[in-house]
Structure 1
Amino acid sequence: SSEKESCFQASLRKVKHYTSETANLILEELKAPPTIGVVAGFIVGAIPQVKALFVGVSSPLRVIQDSISLLGDGTIPGIILVMGGNLVKGLSSSKLRPRVIVSVVCVKLVLLPLIGIFVVKGASNLGLLPEDPLYHFVLMTQYTVPPAMNIGTMAQLFNVGQQECSVLFLWTYLLAAIAITFWSTVYMWILFP
């Protein structure tokens, strides 16, 4: 009986420990600047009185919205600079085998677009999507684009696989120009007969 109680107490301690760890992780994620920005943007956009303070020609706090917009204009060039740095860093020191690179590129630029065609056409045939062919084209194109920059950012943040990400980015972005052109033609041929 005492053995069962001690086993139960040990299990209970583990559950409490994992619960508190999970709660701490969630709280840390909620404190992250992107999350705070999303919540603040949602509040400003959802409440008309607050929105009127920030957005509009005669709004009293327009300078804040202009400043945020100015900062936002620099994000794309900043991301491109980070990507360029990643590519240069990874080219010299990656240990990825060519077979792995070819496999990832084939899955990302050949297999995923094929899957995208079937998913979008299947959802359309089930009536889950509007009948707008341009909408279908945009959905299919999402399956064709190279990997997001966030993957490289996460690799840098956690200091894991930076060189590998750089090499994969290099090859997927180099071949994406050809793949996007090819798949866009295929999508138009399918959607606009």
Structure 2
Amino acid sequence: MDLNLQIVNQVPFWHRMIYAMRNLLAELMSPPTIATKFHSFHDQFFGFLFGGVKSLRNLIIGQDAPLKVIQDTIQLLGNGTIPCITILLGGNLTQGMQSSSMQPLVLISMVIARLFILPAIGFFVVRAAANFGYLPEDPLFQYVLVMQYAMPPAMNISTMAQLFDVGTEECSVILLWSYGASTITLTIWSTFLIWVLG
């Protein structure tokens, strides 16, 4: 370990910066990243265009639209997205059971921060906003807002890790234990919120 540290200290700072920038540019110029950026921009542009111009919208959306097949195709592909993401999540959780690369203390700290500390902060933020009059006094509305803080990490994080092929093993371990612990924490937070807000 000391030998590696000595070797790193002998390399000039500028060489390390150039190496880091080259790796960053290589990641940014990878085909999945370029495709994601390209599709995101064009999807948003055409979405706003067809959503904002009524004559274009009527070409695709509606029972009598001449290009209704486009809407049907997009809807068919969209319906398959949720099962695919669920399968990807299941594959990542399976990898998490076989992996032991993360230290238990780090993993426990992440789960506590994500499923206990963050919802507590969210609870105080929502209650403060309601007390200052920024939110309606509807208990169900406040319940839903706080529960958003208590949810486990999004499945899209595992999709991003798979896309860039970086940290997939660590991501799968974190997701496995976060989703496992969330079965208990969601029940606790839900009970607490119903008791406080009800």
- Please indicate the TM-score interval, normalised by the length of the shorter structure: 0.7 to 0.9
CA distance in structure 1 between the partners assigned to 2:56 and 2:132 by the alignment: 41
Counting aligned pairs with the same residue, the percent is 48
- State which of 111, 119, 144 in structure 2 corresponds to 1:113: 119
- State which of 142, 145, 148 in structure 1 corresponds to 2:151: 145
State how many pairs are aligned.
169
Identify the residue that residue 138 of structure 2 maps to in structure 1.
132
For the 8 Å contact 1:87–1:170, the answer to whether it is kept is yes
CA distance in structure 1 between the partners assigned to 2:127 and 2:71 by the alignment: 41
Taking the TM superposition and a 5 Å limit, the aligned residue runs for 1:76-91 are: 76-91=82-97
For the 8 Å contact 2:152–2:179, the answer to whether it is kept is yes
TM-score normalized by structure 1? 0.79
Taking the TM superposition and a 5 Å limit, the aligned residue runs for 1:55-70 are: 55-70=61-76
Gaps of 5+ in 1: 1-20
Shift in alpha-carbon separation, 1:43–1:151, aligned structure 2, 3 A: same
Residue-by-residue CA offset, 1:110-155 (whole Å, 9 max, x unaligned): 1111111001111112222233322211111110110011211222
TM-score normalized by structure 2? 0.77
Shift in alpha-carbon separation, 1:134–1:42, aligned structure 2, 3 A: farther
- State which of 142, 165, 168 in structure 2 corresponds to 1:162: 168
Aligned CA RMSD, in angstroms, stands at 2.3
Identify the residue that residue 175 of structure 1 maps to in structure 2.
181
Identify the residue that residue 106 of structure 2 maps to in structure 1.
100
CA distance in structure 1 between the partners assigned to 2:165 and 2:50 by the alignment: 35
CA distance in structure 2 between the partners assigned to 1:127 and 1:44 by the alignment: 37
What amino acid is the match of 1:159?
D
